[in-house]
């Protein structure tokens, strides 16, 4: 059974965040999304667009988290926690966060993208030109890179899509070059797209 079918079955073909039944798609949670049933949710385009674009967040849309934060699936709880933290300035959001409980492993996963940290505490990843990199961005290599532990050389000009950010080090990102997932130093990449 495909991942989409499993998520549709789990969610009764509704967005697991706002219960919308239109424009549903798979959203795999960064970082290190493996696109499995455990690290993915079924969400509508509206929710995904607002998750991926913090400047486009409609605060009232996210009042749905009052219900979805209690979902039995950890991935849904993690997204709810991240969005509630993003909306912390709203009184109702802080109240819901105060009620919410995540076990230690789930909380670490939720915090891996930097949600819940003050801006001064966040690790910011920048490319060679100083452009801020986000999880899911595409970059291009600006020089040939020897991949440690293999005979592979990632060639200059190679595009790396859907990168993930190292939550502990601003100089490291991860991405796939061909079939191989590698760690790349940010000073050797330029953001594209």
Region 55-61 average pLDDT: 91
Domain, as residue range, for 52? 3-119
Residue 127 falls within a domain, yes or no?
no
Residues 16 and 89 in one domain: yes
Residues 102 and 144 in one domain: no
Residue 95 falls within a domain, yes or no?
yes
Residue 128 falls within a domain, yes or no?
no
Min mean pLDDT across 5-9, 46-50, 95-99, 180-184 is at 180-184
Residues 24 and 108 in one domain: yes
Residues 7 and 100 in one domain: yes
> Is a pLDDT exceeding 70 seen at residue 120?
no
Region 142-162 average pLDDT: 89
Residues 91 and 165 in one domain: no
Most confidently modeled range among 27-31, 45-49, 161-165:
45-49
Q: Which of 57, 91, 119 corresponds to the end of one domain? A: 119
Residue 130 falls within a domain, yes or no?
no
Give the pLDDT confidence of 64-100 residue by residue, as tens digits: 999 999 999 999 999 999 999 999 888 899 999 999 9
Residue 25 falls within a domain, yes or no?
yes
Please measure the distance between the N-terminal and C-terminal CA atoms of the chain and give it in whole angstroms: 33
Residues 148 and 83 in one domain: no
Residues 46 and 108 in one domain: yes
Residues 74 and 47 in one domain: yes
- What tokens does 34 get? 């493996």
Residues 83 and 164 in one domain: no
Looking at residue 166, which CATH number applies to its domain? 2.30.30.40
The count of domains in the chain is 2
Residue 125 falls within a domain, yes or no?
no
Q: Provide the pLDDT for residue 121.
A: 59
């Amino acid at each position: 059974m495909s991942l989409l079918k499993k998520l549709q079955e789990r969610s009764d073909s509704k967005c697991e965040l706002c219960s919308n039944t239109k424009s549903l798609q798979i959203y795999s949670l960064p970082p290190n999304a493996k696109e499995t049933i455990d690290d993915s949710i079924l969400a509508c385009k509206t929710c995904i667009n607002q998750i991926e674009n913090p400047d486009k967040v409609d605060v009232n849309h996210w009042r749905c988290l009052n219900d979805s934060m209690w979902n039995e699936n950890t991935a849904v709880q993690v997204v709810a926690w991240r969005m509630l933290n993003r909306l912390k300035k709203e009184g109702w959001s802080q109240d819901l966060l105060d009620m919410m409980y995540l076990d230690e492993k789930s909380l670490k996963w939720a915090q891996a993208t930097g949600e819940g940290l003050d801006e001064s505490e966040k690790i910011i990843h920048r490319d060679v030109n100083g452009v801020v990199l986000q999880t899911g961005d595409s970059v291009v290599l600006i020089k040939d890179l020897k991949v440690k532990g293999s005979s592979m050389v990632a060639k200059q000009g190679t595009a790396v899509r859907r990168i993930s950010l190292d939550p502990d080090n601003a100089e490291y990102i991860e991405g796939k070059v061909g079939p191989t997932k590698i760690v790349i130093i940010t000073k050797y990449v330029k953001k594209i797209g």
